[in-house]
Amino acid sequence: MAGSRRRAGGGDPAREGSARRGPARGEASPLRLIAIAAVLIGLVLVSLRLLPGSPMASTAAAQWGDASAPVDRAAGAASDRKSRPTASPSPSPTLEPLPFADKQIDLDIEGWYAWSVLDTRTGEIIGSKNMDETSTTASLIKSWIVADYLRRTDEQGQKPSDAKLADATRIIRDSDNTRAEQFYNTVGRSASIKRMISICKTTDSSVAADGGWSRTNLSPRDTARLGACIKDGRAAGPEWTKWLINEMRLVRGSGDFGIRKAFPATEQKKIAIKNGWIDRTREQEMHINCLAIGDNWTMGVMVRYPINMGYEYGMKNCQKITEAVLRSGT
């Protein structure tokens, strides 16, 4: 009987294994049904977004087939950028006015006179209505002769000897004629003046009829241009420009007159000059000429008058003309 009970409590092992494996293949579990339902719902939602006219349709779907709809995203981005406010450009800094006024003057001066000022920051030129008329330069042109010598020597890979530099100093500071003639011969005489016209972009100048340096023709406007040419380094070159301008600040003796004398004493030593003065017996005229180089300007003044009035009259009138065009408070 005991054996009979064991058989009743046992059963078929194959059936037990089948029962433990769970539902049959034809049946679906609850989890599988939930997963399938979620996928179907997702597909439906996606379809609704892509279907034009659907309340859930995306912008892109709503525009399918619309010829007026933009197709270039870059164009849209560019349009957005254009609609953004742009920053206002920074205003250009205002330049400090030159110490000279742009005006015409009528002075009680015998003979002919003219003046011109060049703004070295902008290149603007102001002056008398006759600033393009020429006169003979006399010693004023020595500033170019020395500059031409120094630049050409450097271009040839050479350096002036101490003796030559001492000669150049005498030409600039003391207006030595003998040494000026020697330098003029070295730089090719009238060929040097032609280089000045080309390098300094003068428009009124010309070589002297006799080929010499003293009768070189320059206008006040071209005198200011020559000053700018010296100041910016075209004349003497990068190696010798500072040296030359310093020498011109140290002009002394009878050549120290004119433009810079119109300025306060503290400013005069900062202004470089080279003047010319001569009595032209052939024309029975005095020719007095002044060149000055300031911080941001250059100036040329020229006067001619009867020879019997002497040098001093013209030298003082160079200063008088400058004073007449200076702004008040300078």
pLDDT in tens, 83-140: 555 556 666 678 899 999 999 999 999 999 999 999 999 999 999 999 999 999 999 9
Tell me what the mean pLDDT of segment 151-177 comes to: 98
Q: Check: CB of residue 286 under 8 Å from CB of residue 280.
A: yes
Q: What is the pLDDT of residue 45?
A: 60
Q: What is the pLDDT of residue 234?
A: 98
Closest CA to 213 of 246, 160, 175: 175
Q: What is the pLDDT of residue 153?
A: 98
Q: What is the pLDDT of residue 14?
A: 39
- Opening angle at CA 151, ends 149 and 152, nearest 5: 65
Q: How far apart are CA 325 and CA 280, in angstroms?
A: 28
Query: Other CB atoms closer than 10 Å to residue 283's CB: what's the count?
Result: 12
Grade residue 68 by pLDDT with cuts at 50, 70 and 90.
very low
pLDDT tens digits for range 37-60: 666 666 656 555 555 555 555 554
Q: How far apart are CA 314 and CA 107, in angstroms?
A: 13
Backbone angle region of 205, left / alpha / beta, with phi > 0 → left and psi within -120 to 50 → alpha: beta
Q: What is the pLDDT of residue 238?
A: 97
Q: Which two tokens stand for residue 236?
A: 């003497």
Percent of the chain with pLDDT over 70: 72
- DSSP β-bridge partners for residue 306: 285
The average confidence (pLDDT) of the chain is 84
Q: How far apart are CA 186 and CA 182, in angstroms?
A: 6
| Half-sphere CA count of 211, side-chain side, radius 13 A | 6
Q: Which two tokens stand for residue 268?
A: 């005069």
Q: What is the pLDDT of residue 47?
A: 57
Percent of the chain with pLDDT over 90: 70
Tell me what the mean pLDDT of segment 167-186 comes to: 98
> Over 70: is that where the pLDDT of 76 sits?
no
Closest CA to 197 of 273, 141, 276, 131: 141
**Which of 32-36, 124-128, 136-140, 170-174 is least confident?**
32-36
Tell me what the mean pLDDT of segment 11-16 comes to: 40
> What is the SS3 assignment for 266?
helix
Widest CA span in the chain: 171
